[in-house]
Amino acid sequence: MERSFKGNPKKISLTSEASMFHYIEYDPKKREVVKQTLSIHENGKVFWNEYILAPNFGHTLEKHRFKIDEVQAQEIIKDVAKHFETNLEDMACDAGMWEIEILCEEGEVFNYYGMLGDVSLKLVEVSEKVRQLIPGQNIWVFDGNYGK
């Protein structure tokens, strides 16, 4: 059972996945992303990975590393943590999904799950803020609207 967030957050790790029904056929002419991972640390370090569909339902990995302003990184981490103080998301098994882990200074870890795209206005705002800090990348975050 999910529990409300409490503590001093220092890192978030987010995994966003496409629906398992979305990528049934492999097309070598297309670059089909099936999963993304994003970690934002309070010191501004950002790790973003994309998993690209390969033959026989395998995948290749593309790794990206960034450094953003520490204050902005801390703001995003706190915005996400604050959301989960009072809000828990719903899940469905036929849609894309996200999973987030919030690590606290005290060492406690909080995990939350939700449907990609079907999120609260606050998580849409956080998704847009992440895309503004890391421009030029097709990052799904919580809402999946990476093409905006």
Express each pLDDT in 100-143 by its tens digit. 999 999 999 999 988 888 788 888 999 999 888 887 778 899 98
The band of 86, judged by pLDDT with boundaries at 50, 70 and 90, is confident
Q: Note the pLDDT tens digit of each residue in 32-46.
A: 788 899 999 999 999
pTM as predicted:
0.85
Residue 100 and residue 112: Cα distance in Å, rounded?
5
Residue 14: which pLDDT band, with cuts at 50, 70 and 90? Answer: very high
* C-alpha span between 42 and 74 (Å, rounded): 5
Q: ∠ CA 123-62-22 to the nearest 5 degrees?
A: 60
> Measured in Å, how far apart are the chain's first and last C-alpha atoms?
34
Dihedral sign for Cα 104, 105, 107, 108, please.
negative
Query: What is the predicted pLDDT for the residue at 47?
Result: 95
Q: Which helix or strand (DSSP H or E) is residue 56 part of? A: none
What does each C-alpha distance from 90 to 19, 82, 112, 117 come to in angstroms? 15, 17, 10, 12
Q: Could you write out the DSSP letters of every residue in 69-129?
A: -HHHHHHHHHHHHHHHHH------SSS-EEEEEEEETTS-EEEEEEETT---HHHHHHHHH
